Amino acid sequence: MGRRTASVMVVAAMVVVGACDDGGPATAELNGKVRLDDGRGIADAVVSLGTADEPRWTTTSETDGSYAITAEPGTSLLRVLPPVGFAVPEDSSAIQVVLASEQETEQDVVVSPNLTVEVTLPEDSIQGGQYVGVEGATVTVRPVGATEIVHQATTDTRGVVAAAVDLGDWEVEVTLPDGYELLSDYDATRTVAVETQGVPYWLDFGARTVP
């Protein structure tokens, strides 16, 4: 069995805003960018501020990933729902920022492709608390029952390939480089159902070295 399964995360960031002392309605400005790790902006992400029960202010990221929200001072929750194909990783799921009244604060939100495929060696090969990845494995992603390839790439030094896919059922095929074979409880072709927008899905393959 695989070590990871598809997971669903609730993404929320606490925002603390100050008060205005000029006698008028106090406001606070939150600006930033919804982007990939390499800096590329992600358009059409829904960015909202509100309570734990519902959003009060909502906007959509621009073509360059930028967003801006003007809100009342107070404590709110920042939520980001990226477009289909992307997800908010766990390390960006709780960002605390302090906004001063009548001032601007910038806060980027980093997202990633929503399907991650990982090819690693067995648990007895763990180094520094991390699985050892198989570099150079070819990962091919296509819709279940179709021949059209929507994503194909080779794993990096961590044994990882990330793909941005639509909602639906996907077939993932792994071809290992010379010197490796899959463990007996892993098939070279597996399927994953990507059912929820904005959350990450993982599919792992276990491998071992061969003489």
Between strands 151-154 and 138-143, the pairing is antiparallel
- pLDDT tens digits for range 121-131: 986 666 667 78
- pLDDT tens digits for range 140-157: 999 999 999 999 999 999
All residue ranges of the chain with pLDDT < 50 are 1-2, 5-15, 17-19
Q: How far apart are CA 34 and CA 40, in angstroms?
A: 9
> What pLDDT is stored for residue 64 in this prediction?
97
Domains of the chain in start order, with CATH, are 13-111 (2.60.40.10), 114-209 (2.60.40.10)
> What pLDDT is stored for residue 1 in this prediction?
46
CB 108 within 8 A of CB 30: no
Nearest Cα to Cα of residue 18 among 28, 8, 33: 28
